[in-house]
């Protein structure tokens, strides 16, 4: 590394993972003018979308650059102290609801008093973070899409960025699909996949660095193209979720009132509510679809609903497993059904949608991580690396993005100081720390829980069974009271008589198996 | 209201939803998604149509004989690239500064 490079580190993507890497590099003593962070959005943040809730206080570590982020960052909306989870069927809504004094962070509680969960709007938050990066002296460039990575000894004009991810002209269908890259000369592909990365190419221009950090987010073209993820050429709908949401304006006062929120003062941010639901709203829609499109008969959309209060708005949306989407159902119509379920409709009444959007979310789990997190001169962080914890009830990615960025920043600074930024050196630092971090420990420990929560039963008969049972147990219609257990049995009997799928799914063994899996939660 | 859920009568007004988003649409020659629609004719599932949250793909679901694709409303999620197994979708991000601009996110 005798040759001088334009920068020490170039970071592609100014989301939480990229920003965190940049700030950590500063903390490790790398000069701001040796760090370049680029983002294809202009302004920065304008390409980003989340549900979303930020968990944990990872941002505290950057207090010297961010100050009182909790109060000052425009996209950090409300501190969540009120959490609801539950089941939603077309008629019934059943919630478990908690209001936790210790989540207010005002002290005087048995549990550690700390705010650690915020509703977030990323377009605003990312723009603010970018400002803070600039203030700290980091080079920030907005509106810059990176076409290619610069590889030592390789003429970037010898291939096109689309060559790496496009289907081949003579591609077959389904499993026989072929890719353009398979038709490129072998030596070229070998260099693209395993050469030393030493910068970026944009509009034919090269900028060099000792290390390139890929922080492109969940739909990362570079991670696919440069073979961090060996599977991204294959269709990966098995491990991808699509979020579809609206931001609905209700006004601050209405939100404070409707959701019983603390309004906020000079010292404490306003409080808010976060709700996540398993949905079984789609039975009749699915049956209609199956009739028209029998190819995917029996496939039931596995959907979660989310509802978060922001300062002036609420984020209302669904997240659907792409592999569970049957033909005949549009994802945006799945959202509409959620929005019109009476319990949700009541919450957004009088509101006006001000933004609509969709975003992918990886749900890789340990079985489907990128086959490598580093290459000679490069590494991958955050969503681009699939570092998302998703167990069907909860999706956490932003805290993981921030954390992986810190680990990357520390590792890169050390490797640069040691004069060795090879994949081996980056693995010995970054990958190693990543694999012993809470991110991987969480993924490992909760893998069985993920299996349980993704069980189709939870998106079909379970919410209905629970909802109907609760409905009858809590209701008084002038008839003799029946113990809950008996009601449950009666509802189960009726539901099993109703259709074949229920009869099969709700058999004793099926239910027992589900219960046994549920212990691992 | 719950009655309509049972009947599956839901249709989201996508055009209205998309109207709420800001775009800086690039010229056709720089379209970030290119679909070889002739390959769609033999497709048995049209999963791009069902997956796309922005209704950029219109086909038999809309009573059309041929796939009609338009990139202008794209929210750049990447779902179509993942759903298509016909070798028809070429996907890349729009050029810097072009495409969708969320103001909330």
Test A332 with B12 for CB contact under 8 angstroms.
Answer: yes
For residues B2 and B5, give the distance between their C-alpha atoms in angstroms, rounded to a whole number. 5
Taking only the tens place, the pLDDT of each residue in B29-51 is 999 999 999 999 999 999 999 99
pLDDT at A369: 84
* CB-based contact A133:A37 (threshold 8 Å): yes
Test A145 with B94 for CB contact under 8 angstroms.
Answer: yes
ipTM of the complex: 0.94
Test A330 with B50 for CB contact under 8 angstroms.
Answer: yes
Under CATH, which number does the domain A237-362 receive?
Answer: 3.30.9.90
Buried b / exposed e along A61-97 (16+ C-beta atoms within 10 A): bbeebbeebbeebebbbbbbbbbbbbbbbbbbbbeee
Tracing tokens 């680990």 back to the chain, one arrives at A407
Answer whether the bond into residue A216 is a cis peptide, omega within 30°.
no
Answer whether the bond into residue A43 is a cis peptide, omega within 30°.
yes
Question: Which of B4, B44, B87 lies closest to A171 in CB terms?
Answer: B87
Test A356 with B18 for CB contact under 8 angstroms.
Answer: yes
Question: Which of B76, B81, B92 lies closest to A47 in CB terms?
Answer: B76
pLDDT at B2: 46
Burial of A433 (0-12, 13-18, 19+ CB in 10 A): middle
C-alpha torsion A57→A63→A68→A74, nearest 10: -80
* CB-based contact A57:A116 (threshold 8 Å): yes
Cα distance from A242 to chain B (closest Cα, Å)? 7
Beta strand extents in A265-370 (DSSP E only) = 271-280, 303-309, 313-321, 352-362
Tracing tokens 């197994």 back to the chain, one arrives at B85
pLDDT at A13: 98
pLDDT at A502: 85
pLDDT at B1: 43
Residues in chain B with CB shorter than 8 Å from the CB of A126 are 105
* CB-based contact A14:A133 (threshold 8 Å): yes
The domain segmentation of chain B, as residue ranges, is 2-101
Is CATH 3.40.50.300 what the domain over B2-101 is classified as, yes or no?
no
pLDDT at A505: 83
For residues A389 and A393, give the distance between their C-alpha atoms in angstroms, rounded to a whole number. 10
Question: Which of B11, B77, B95 lies closest to A219 in CB terms?
Answer: B77
Burial of A34 (0-12, 13-18, 19+ CB in 10 A): buried
In CATH, which superfamily holds the domain spanning A1-75+121-152+195-230+370-445?
FAD/NAD(P)-binding domain (3.50.50.60)
For residues A249 and A362, give the distance between their C-alpha atoms in angstroms, rounded to a whole number. 28
Minimal-distance CA residue of chain A relative to B51: A331
Residues in chain A with CB shorter than 8 Å from the CB of B16 are 353
Judged against a pLDDT cut of 60, whether residue B104 lies above it is answered with yes
Residue ranges in chain A whose pLDDT is less than 70: 1-3, 230-235, 392-393, 520-521
Tokens of A38: 């680029």
Minimal-distance CA residue of chain B relative to A42: B97
* CA dist list (Å): A161 to A11, A166, A208, A245, B39: 18, 9, 18, 31, 22
Q: How many CB pairs under 8 A join A and B?
A: 206
Buried b / exposed e along A482-495 (16+ C-beta atoms within 10 A): eeeeebbeebbeeb
Cα distance from B10 to chain A (closest Cα, Å)? 6
Beta strand extents in A49-172 (DSSP E only) = 53-55, 76-89, 93-99, 117-120, 139-141, 148-151
pLDDT at A239: 85
* CA dist list (Å): A105 to A101, A125, A268, A270, A351: 8, 22, 9, 12, 30
Burial of B61 (0-12, 13-18, 19+ CB in 10 A): middle
The domain segmentation of chain A, as residue ranges, is 1-75+121-152+195-230+370-445, 237-362, 460-518
pLDDT at A230: 67
């Amino acid at each position: 590394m005798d040759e001088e490079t334009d920068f020490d580190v170039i970071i592609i993507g100014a989301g939480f993972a990229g920003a965190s890497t940049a700030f950590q590099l500063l903390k490790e003593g790398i000069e701001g003018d040796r760090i370049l962070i680029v983002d294809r959005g202009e302004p920065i943040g304008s390409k980003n979308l989340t549900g979303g809730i930020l968990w944990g206080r990872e941002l505290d570590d950057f207090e010297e650059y961010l100050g009182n982020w909790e109060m000052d960052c425009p996209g950090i909306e409300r501190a969540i102290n009120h959490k609801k989870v539950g089941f939603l069927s077309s008629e019934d809504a059943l919630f478990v609801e908690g209001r936790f004094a210790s989540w207010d962070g005002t002290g005087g509680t048995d549990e550690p008093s700390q705010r650690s969960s915020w509703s977030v709007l990323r377009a605003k938050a990312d723009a603010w973070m970018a400002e803070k990066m600039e203030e700290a002296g980091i080079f920030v460039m907005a509106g810059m899409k990176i076409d290619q990575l610069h590889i030592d000894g390789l003429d970037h004009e010898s291939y096109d960025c689309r060559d790496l991810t496009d289907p081949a002209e003579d591609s077959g269908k389904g499993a026989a699909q072929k890719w353009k890259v398979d038709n490129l000369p072998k030596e070229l592909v070998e260099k693209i996949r395993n050469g030393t990365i030493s910068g970026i190419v944009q509009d034919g221009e090269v900028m060099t660095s000792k290390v390139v950090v890929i922080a492109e987010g969940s739909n990362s073209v570079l991670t696919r193209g440069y073979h961090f993820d060996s599977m991204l050429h294959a269709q990966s709908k098995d491990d991808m979720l699509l979020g579809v949401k609206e931001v609905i304006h209700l006004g601050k006062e209405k939100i404070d009132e409707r959701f019983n929120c603390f309004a906020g003062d000079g010292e404490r941010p306003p409080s808010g509510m976060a709700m996540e639901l398993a949905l079984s709203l789609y039975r009749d829609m699915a049956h209609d679809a199956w009739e028209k499109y029998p190819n995917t008969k029996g496939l039931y959309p596995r959907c979660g609903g989310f509802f978060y209060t922001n300062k002036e708005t609420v984020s209302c949306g669904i997240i659907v497993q792409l592999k569970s989407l049957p033909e005949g159902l549009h994802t945006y119509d799945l959202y509409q059904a959620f929005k019109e379920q009476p319990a949700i409709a009541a919450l957004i009444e009088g509101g006006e949608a001000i933004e609509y959007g969709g975003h992918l979310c990886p749900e890789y789990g340990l079985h489907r991580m990128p086959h490598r997190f580093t290459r000679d001169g490069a590494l991958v962080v955050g969503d681009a690396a699939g570092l998302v914890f998703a167990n069907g009830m909860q999706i956490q990615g932003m805290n993981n993005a921030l954390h992986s960025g810190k680990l990357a920043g520390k590792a890169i600074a050390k490797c640069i100081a040691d004069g060795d930024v090879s994949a081996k050196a980056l693995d010995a630092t970054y990958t190693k720390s990543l694999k012993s971090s809470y991110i991987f420990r969480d993924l490992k420990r909760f893998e069985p829980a993920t299996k349980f929560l993704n069980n189709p039963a939870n998106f079909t008969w379970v919410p209905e069974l629970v909802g109907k049972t609760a409905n009858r147990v809590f209701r008084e219609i002038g008839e003799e009271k029946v113990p809950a257990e008996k009601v449950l049995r009666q509802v189960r009997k009726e539901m099993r008589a109703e259709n074949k799928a229920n009869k099969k799914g709700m058999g004793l063994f099926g239910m027992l198996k589900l219960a046994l899996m549920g212990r691992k939660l | 209201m719950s009655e309509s859920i049972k009947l599956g009568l839901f249709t989201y007004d996508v055009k209205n939803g998309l109207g709420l988003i800001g775009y800086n649409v690039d010229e056709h020659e720089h379209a970030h998604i290119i679909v070889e629609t002739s390959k769609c004719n033999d497709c048995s599932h049209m999963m791009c149509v069902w997956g796309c949250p922005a209704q950029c793909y219109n086909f038999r679901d809309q009573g059309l004989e041929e796939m009609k694709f338009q990139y202008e409303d794209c929210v750049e999620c990447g779902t179509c690239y993942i759903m298509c197994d016909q070798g028809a979708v070429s996907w890349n991000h729009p050029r810097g500064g072009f495409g969708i601009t969320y103001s909330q996110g």
